[in-house]
Structure 1
């Protein structure tokens, strides 16, 4: 990297000029990048926005003769304090020139101003980005998949005599919020999380998140504790032939076999008449077992698969 032209611009060895993200860059880059390939790609592009100190983030754009052709960002999550998220995208005709690596190097200098000690990034399986991350010292730590489960894929459970009851519960319930927070922290031991009841309500259960309803499997047996064993939150207000977006979780105090049984029952009830779509990480072992069986039997399909790398 050469010397700076001014306080806001750098010239890279590739010849591109780097500057902070500015208003209108999203539309300009869309012209050279094209539309996002899937929902994950759309979410990652949404990370590109003006730099901030609260929450901490830095975002830069690379120009070729004044035309934006690449962008990259690092940012700190309010939930995951130990690792900064990294995302970069380069226009097709500027790839394989080391541009993304140069942008990463610029951002790493900025990262010295943040207390987080690591970097993480996700990419599509068998993509060029996967090779880039490996070449730049990142190691795989997790796989996440978006799974679509077909209607009627699972046999409906008979809850009579099981000591379990299917109940609706308000998304604003403190009981539900507390369990969602515990579950989130438990399945993110690979990237330490600081989910609280308040954050669970704000980020996963509030009306503004799209949460439109929730159901639970509750222990109602005579000698039971009345606790929630598993839960599902829907982010789709009306059921149609299109898959409903749901979050499924369980009480992290359960053993894996019991959790798997409850998840299987709850998923069967949710997908009895309409398909559902859910995100499954490797760390969600009970849910992963159930969905992998469905995929193997042709009763579910993988919408997309991403690999999470860290350094």
Structure 2
């Protein structure tokens, strides 16, 4: 039975290689994150911060390779590829180069070095996430990647959506513990349903660990239930807050719905949930193009000037033939 470690007894440890730019490449070492931070500066946004956290020592479990490029002994660039157990069909790629060393082919050559290790993994396809209209977007296009998804962080202003009459609509808003088995199963089902473009293997255990445990910052959850005549009291939509206290700053919320709902019903449930969440305080949600019911609602709000997005991320992939 093939596994992701089959052809690799140990992580790659390439000898120091010299790039065409004159930079020297070596494996990632302890302390490189702090040295690179001094050269790169602070991350531009939360996505940038998350991507930088992917840079770490090479490993076979989970499978990953990471290298650093130096100029006169000082790290100025880094790149990694790794396999996620949650999205196992593609390897993730991330690279960052100090501004003064860009446009010299550094990232492209680091990608080539890492690609030489890909045959040691059971997965051959690659994906990468970049900010829209960034230089990295052009880099991916030039290296054979094509766009497969877009994602926005959308902030909904207080009172942007008229509140529904819950009783007449046959709805009930209920606080639910983040450890609820019912909620955890629905979160897992929702996540898998909206990631068919990059198939996920979200399980109840992973949903609890990655999205609902206290360590994730999850501070509470509410669900919208169907209480209409003939309704089965099932959950129509859910919202998980990662902001412990409501303030004038937008609350960070994961909003989802029962994936078994027809699209029109899912949209109605998303609209009702958003109206309740943002009744008095702003709310921030992440919306992928694949989240059609939620995207329909947030697009309408953006067009009406009742919501805005702070940045848009694009996901590119290069699939093995």
User: TM-score by structure 1 length?
Assistant: 0.96
Matches within 5 A, 1:161-200: 161-200=168-207
CA distance in 2, matches of 1:234, 1:8: 47
Q: Which residue of 2 aligns with 1:204?
A: 211
Q: Which residue of 2 aligns with 1:41?
A: 48
Runs of 4+ in 1 over 4 A off after TM superposition: none
In terms of mean alpha carbon deviation, does 87-96 or 108-117 score higher? 108-117
Matches within 5 A, 1:6-45: 7-45=14-52
Matches within 5 A, 1:218-229: 218-229=225-236
CA distance in 1, matches of 2:282, 2:202: 29
User: TM-score by structure 2 length?
Assistant: 0.93
Q: Which residue of 2 aligns with 1:105?
A: 112
C-alpha spacing 1:176/1:203, structure 2 compared with 1 (3 Å): same
TM-superposed CA distance for 1:117, in Å, is 2.6
Verify the 8 A CA contact 2:14 2:26 in the aligned structure 1.
no
TM-superposed CA distance for 1:7, in Å, is 4.6
C-alpha spacing 1:33/1:8, structure 2 compared with 1 (3 Å): same
C-alpha spacing 1:30/1:161, structure 2 compared with 1 (3 Å): same
1:81-129 deviation line (CA, Å, top 9, x unaligned): 0001100000111100110000101111112111123100011111100
Q: Within the alignment, does 1:127 sit opposite 2:134 as a pair?
A: yes
Q: Which residue of 1 aligns with 2:159?
A: 152
Verify the 8 A CA contact 2:88 2:200 in the aligned structure 1.
yes
Note the residue ranges of structure 2 that are not aligned, 5 or more in a row: 1-12
CA distance in 1, matches of 2:221, 2:95: 36
What is the number of residues matched between the two proteins? Answer: 306
Q: Which residue of 2 aligns with 1:254?
A: 261
Q: Which residue of 1 aligns with 2:294?
A: 287
Report the secondary structure of 2:168's partner residue: coil
1:225-270 deviation line (CA, Å, top 9, x unaligned): 2211100000011101111000000000111111000000000100
Residue 267 of structure 1: which of 270, 274, 278 is its match?
274
Pairwise CA RMSD of aligned residues? 1.1
Report the secondary structure of 1:266's partner residue: helix
Note the residue ranges of structure 1 that are not aligned, 5 or more in a row: 1-5
CA distance in 1, matches of 2:247, 2:63: 39
Report the secondary structure of 2:92's partner residue: strand
Q: Within the alignment, does 1:231 sit opposite 2:238 as a pair?
A: yes
Report the secondary structure of 1:176's partner residue: helix
Report the secondary structure of 2:279's partner residue: coil
CA distance in 1, matches of 2:182, 2:125: 33
